[in-house]
Amino acid sequence: MTSHTPAHPTSPRLLAANLVNAVLLEGVSLTASLANLRASHSTHSANDSRDIAAAQNLAYGVLREAGRLRFFLARLTQRPLQPIELTGHLLVGLHELDAELSPAYAAVNETVSVAARRYPFARAFVNAVLRNFQRQRETLVKAVQQNPEALWNFPNWWLRRLQAEYPSDWQQIVGQLNTHPPMILRVNLRQTSRADFCAQLTNARIEYRLPENDPGAAAVILTTPIPVSELPGFAAGLVSVQDLGAQWAAPMLDIHAGMRVLDACAAPGGKTGHLLECAALDVLALDSDANRLRRVRENLERLGLTELPAANIRLLAADAGKPALWWDEMPFDRILLDAPCTASGVVRRHPDGKWLKRAEDMQHLADEQSRLLEALWPLLKSGGKMLYATCSLFQAENSEQISAFLARHADARIEPVNFTSQSKAELISTRMMPTTLIPTEDMDGFFYARLLKT
């Protein structure tokens, strides 16, 4: 952001303050707030687009560091803010000062001026808080060491859980979950080879590297994230954006052409697309959210997968936990249950998730996951396989969920996945069987269990 941008009506600082308030005060996800923001600027100019992108960066930065920034704010104000909406303005200003994103005088002056446009009576207060931060900065930064939530930028309940479940890895995990995630692509091997796509990247002077631990052999990691519109062949479906850990699902499901496959929680269709890129399947893709399901169709169309010879694709908005309402009684060869979860493994992509989820949400989600497992198991053929997946690191949603399921079902057993043995030992936590992918530089946190019906 340039420090001299005047505070015009769509100032990034104002938009960012609104985004931060929506997450921290109203409990609205950043994805939903950003979608609303873009929709309200649907006829936007290039300036608006730049402002929204700058606001997005600021809001992501604040939410990544919200433990630390809220600690500063509490120390600097001592009383509840009046009005509470000053929170967003002050956190954005503190973030700019703390991370030294712009010269300090500009960060202070412009935060004050944007906040005062809305709350003229608060001008002196906002100015005093930010100037006090500058004066007390050294003491405040030292005090962070004594406060785990401020030090690690995670809620305490989350830290306690990770410490208990990953006693030797939790610091590495938290460190990774606080980083900026890489942009990872999945090449559509139906349309091109990875080598040919990489040649196009080279021609376009886009730097990339190939990851290890890539069972689908379709992943490419960009050195610097770029808008998808700048990717060669994106609109023509040569490539998708998908984390490397998510790219493990399709190879793990062990699919072959012609199989009848249920993708039970499919939207926005990242894994549905990958499955169809690997084999011409008879797929039923369900999602309970009809709006999100529309994105599955859009993605499959862009990838050129809706007209695949020998494939059959049906999309249905339905509750996967109520098959009586949609199942035709024909058993499936394969079921992918990419279950709704806390998404605790992907918070570097969605840092608002750290502050939106409560400890009690995890139990509700675990109950929902076991409801879905129970409802879908009878739909699998004998000899068929179900892949249970989450993007969570919490055992209540992962290994504990699967152990309880195995205890309830004598006809279910875990089927080992051979390609894990080719991967780097430290990436695969064998202590947490079946397979927990601990977040690394190249991969978000995921969990997979492949269940065979005997």
Ligand X SMILES: C[S@@+](CC[C@H](N)C(=O)[O-])C[C@H]1O[C@@H](n2cnc3c(N)ncnc32)[C@H](O)[C@@H]1O
- From CA 243, how far away is CA 55, in angstroms rounded? 24
Give min distance, CB of 271 to ligand X, in A: 4
- Name every residue whose Cβ is closer than 8 Å to that of residue 402 and which is 6 or more positions away in sequence: 388, 414, 434, 449, 451
Give min distance, CB of 194 to ligand X, in A: 20
> What single DSSP character describes residue 377?
G
- From CA 95, how far away is CA 5, in angstroms rounded? 17
Give min distance, CB of 362 to ligand X, in A: 15
Site residues (CB under 6 A) for ligand X? 246, 265-271, 286-289, 292, 319-321, 338, 340
How many angstroms separate the first and last alpha carbons of the chain? 59
Helix or strand run (H / E) with residue 390: strand 380-390
Token reading at 405: 């399921």
Instruction: Output 65 or 243, the one with its CB closest to ligand X.
Output: 243
Return the SS3 of 284.
strand
The active-site residue, picked from 265, 278, 341, 391, is 391
Instruction: Output 287 or 397, the one with its CB closest to ligand X.
Output: 287
Instruction: Output 169 or 444, the one with its CB closest to ligand X.
Output: 444
Instruction: Output 34 or 107, the one with its CB closest to ligand X.
Output: 34
Q: Fill in the amino acid letter for 324.
A: A
Instruction: Output 75 or 295, the one with its CB closest to ligand X.
Output: 295
Give min distance, CB of 266 to ligand X, in A: 5
Note the residue count of the chain. 454
Instruction: Output 20 or 278, the one with its CB closest to ligand X.
Output: 278
- From CA 193, how far away is CA 341, in angstroms rounded? 33
CA 117 from centre of chain: 34
Token reading at 9: 């009506």
Give min distance, CB of 273 to ligand X, in A: 8
Q: Please list, residue by residue across 410-422, b when 16 or more beta carbons sit within 10 angstroms of its beta carbon and e when fewer do.
A: eebeebebeebee
- From CA 320, how far away is CA 298, in angstroms rounded? 21
Token reading at 445: 């946190």
Give min distance, CB of 322 to ligand X, in A: 8
Give min distance, CB of 265 to ligand X, in A: 3
Instruction: Output 162 or 318, the one with its CB closest to ligand X.
Output: 318
Return the SS3 of 418.
helix
**Range 412-419, long-range pairs (CB < 8 A, 24+ positions):** 412/377, 412/451, 412/452, 412/453, 412/454, 413/451, 413/452, 413/454, 414/449, 414/450, 414/451, 414/452, 415/385, 415/450, 415/451, 415/452, 416/450, 417/252, 417/448, 417/450, 419/215, 419/251
Q: Please say whether the beta carbons of 343 and 391 come within 8 A.
A: yes
Instruction: Output 55 or 372, the one with its CB closest to ligand X.
Output: 372
Instruction: Output 85 or 319, the one with its CB closest to ligand X.
Output: 319
- From CA 37, how far away is CA 21, in angstroms rounded? 13
Token reading at 222: 């960009």
Give min distance, CB of 401 to ligand X, in A: 14
Q: Please say whether the beta carbons of 59 and 32 come within 8 A.
A: no
Give min distance, CB of 179 to ligand X, in A: 21
Active site (annotated) includes residue 265: no
Q: Fill in the amino acid letter for 433.
A: M
Which positions are annotated as active-site residues? 391
